[in-house]
Chain A
Amino acid sequence: MEKLVVSVNGIPEQGGVEMTSAQTLEPAPQKRKAGASSGSPLRKFAIHIAPPLIVLILFLGFWELAIRLADVKPYLFPKPSDIVKAAAENGHNLLVSVRTTIAEAVLGFAFSVILGVAFAIVLALSKTVERSVYPYAIILQTIPIVAVAPIIVIWFGAGMNAIVMIAFLIAFFPILSNTLIGLNSTEANMKNLFYLYNATKWQTIWKLRIPAALPYMLAGMKISCSLSVVGAIVGEYIAGIGGLQGGLGYAITVASTRLQTAYLFACGLSAAVMGIVFFLLINALSNRLLRSWHDSAING
């Protein structure tokens, strides 16, 4: 009763008000586009790229100068110039290592996406299955990967298979848990609507729950892609094989035993760059898929 609204006096032209809101519809997306790319490229550089770049240059300069002045031996703490030199001298080896690690991380990540999403769908289809299986998935996740890695090496043999397996195990859980949360957080109203229109369980999964879970799935992938690089390198520490095909993890172990500290730095930095690039790729994919309808991609 408190919500009674006085509406006795009429409004002259009923259609008019809604039409104005309809007309503002077209310019809206353009306005957003214009806002995103505001200003010239130079301005964008000055605001977004220049400040961190200046910090980087200052940091490297300070590093170079401090080590030079203190006269620290390169095998204890290399200067930036030492690292660049080491990377250039071992350029070919570094490239092969990077390529190997990329292959392992991408494979592990791909398996984690396929199996993580598939597993989440199975769990989401039945509350009973979820209740009985999910706790074990959590327990599996809490076992430190380094602790089980030797077993994986025993089962899969040293080399590529075991390393991919370790990268997969580390990247799997964030995708599983995120996708499952996404599948379970479909709006009750939407589910009711599908139910009322006699949708089958599969129709509800394919046409409602999976698309609604996509933002969660992609958030899980953003976490997992960096983790898969970590997993690949950890895998190489434990199961890496030598020779020409060794990955970054193997190169790092070798460099550290030989006290090639500068090259060790170069390998570490390469791994970092790899992780960042991988993340940016997944982030771009995420924005592309969600751009049109999800707030995270529109405002972010």
Chain B
Amino acid sequence: MNSTMLAGSSPGMAVGSGDQSGILVGMQNIGKIYPNGTIAVQNVNLLAGEREFLCFVGPSGCGKSTIFNMIAGLTNHTSGELAVLGTTPKEARKQNEIAFVFQEHTLLPWSKLIDNVTMPLTLRGVSKKERMQEGERVLELVGLKDYMKVLPRQLSGGMKMRVSIARALISRPKLLLMDEPFGALDEITRQTLQDELLNIWCNDRKMTVLFITHNVFEAVYLSTRVVVMTPRPGKVADIVHIEAPFPRTNDFRSSPEFGGYVHAVSESLKH
């Protein structure tokens, strides 16, 4: 991978031990053209290293979800090179090191929370004892340990999203892909979950999060780097490094520094 191609080759690390050794996602001149001729994504170059929190921000139709789907292996790119965990997306998925969170909670309505969060392990044939252990661990992580036997319908939207995050964390992923996970939540719940997600990420020693959002404030608050995308065709307009240290709190949300970053990202979005 040629480093001159990269818009941001040194991840903006404020905590942890991020270095160049572990590249989780590498994109070189990635493009996606649909059969009907629509150009979804064009010339995207990006490297995501260990312990990064990368937010993709942009309006609808800028190709953020297409990038997510390509990394997940749900759709193929039509040009350029894409490596996930050093291999193709489909092979990478088989290593069980990637986890997914969607905007919808996608919980099984007939399964108790413990069965929902352990679903990835069940599919892999992990023993019941280990499943229970891991299930309790991740439910505790999101503060829902007392609700193990509860069905999803009895939870609020924010709680369902926490369960969805817990399910993603159960396999201790190296790479966590989140597609507008807080998009359907109210602002207060959204901020609570942002803080909880950052806490979990800070305490984890290796995980990289790729996070899609259309909310500039959310992107700036969470990220080590914000990838700004513009539509028609979907392109990376800019990559903004957020140098603020972790853990971040509400003080950061109201700091002039934060406003500066929001302004910078918003300006890039107008390109």
Contact = CB atoms under 8 A, between A and B. Distances in A.
Interface string A177-202: 00000000001011011111111000
A25 B143 CA distance: 14
Given A4-B216, A11-B188, A18-B159, A196 B153 contact: no
A189 B181 CA distance: 13
B191 A197 contact: no
A9 B187 contact: no
B159 A198 contact: no
Which of A2, A15, A28, A193 gathers the greatest number of chain B CB atoms within 10 Å?
A193
Interface string B85-128: 00000000110101010101010111000000001101110000
B205 interface: no
A211 B215 contact: no
B217 interface: yes
Interface stretch (B11-19, B37-45, B250-258): B250-258
B120 A197 contact: yes
Nearest to B120: A197
Given A8-B253, A198-B94, A208-B108, A18 B123 contact: no
A22 B150 CA distance: 12
A294 B151 CA distance: 11
A17 B192 contact: yes
A300 to B, nearest CB: 15
Contacts of B191: 7, 10-11, 14
A136 interface: no
A144 interface: no
Contact of A197 (B119, B154, B159, B249): B119
A25 B100 CA distance: 27
A198 B97 CA distance: 12
B195 A14 contact: yes
B214 interface: yes
Interface string A189-221: 110111111110001000110010010000000
Contact of B156 (A10, A21, A203, A208): A21
Contacts of A243: none
A3 B215 contact: yes
B223 to A, nearest CB: 15
Contacts of A203: 123
Interface residues on A, range: 35 or more
A8 B217 contact: yes
B233 interface: no
B143 to A, nearest CB: 8
A55 interface: no
Nearest to B269: A1
A293 interface: yes
A147 interface: no
B79 interface: no
B247 to A, nearest CB: 12
B22 interface: no
Contacts of A7: 187, 190-191, 217-218, 253
B269 A10 contact: no
Interface string A27-39: 0110000000000
Given A9-B254, A203-B123, A293-B153, A190 B269 contact: no
B80 interface: no
A186 to B, nearest CB: 11
A211 B111 CA distance: 10
A18 B154 contact: no
B94 A293 contact: no
A192 B152 CA distance: 19
B10 interface: no
B158 interface: yes
Contacts of A25: 147, 150, 154-155
Contacts of B124: 197-198
Contacts of B214: 1, 3
B250 A10 contact: yes
Interface in A47-101: none
A126 interface: no
17 contacts: A2-B59, A3-B214, A7-B190, A10-B249, A14-B195, A17-B192, A18-B143, A18-B158, A22-B159, A29-B154, A187-B106, A193-B100, A198-B96, A198-B123, A198-B124, A292-B110, A293-B151
Q: Enumerate the 9 nearest inter-chain pairs by beta-carbon distance, A residue then B residue, closest first.
A: A10-B250, A21-B156, A293-B109, A293-B110, A197-B120, A14-B192, A199-B123, A7-B217, A189-B106
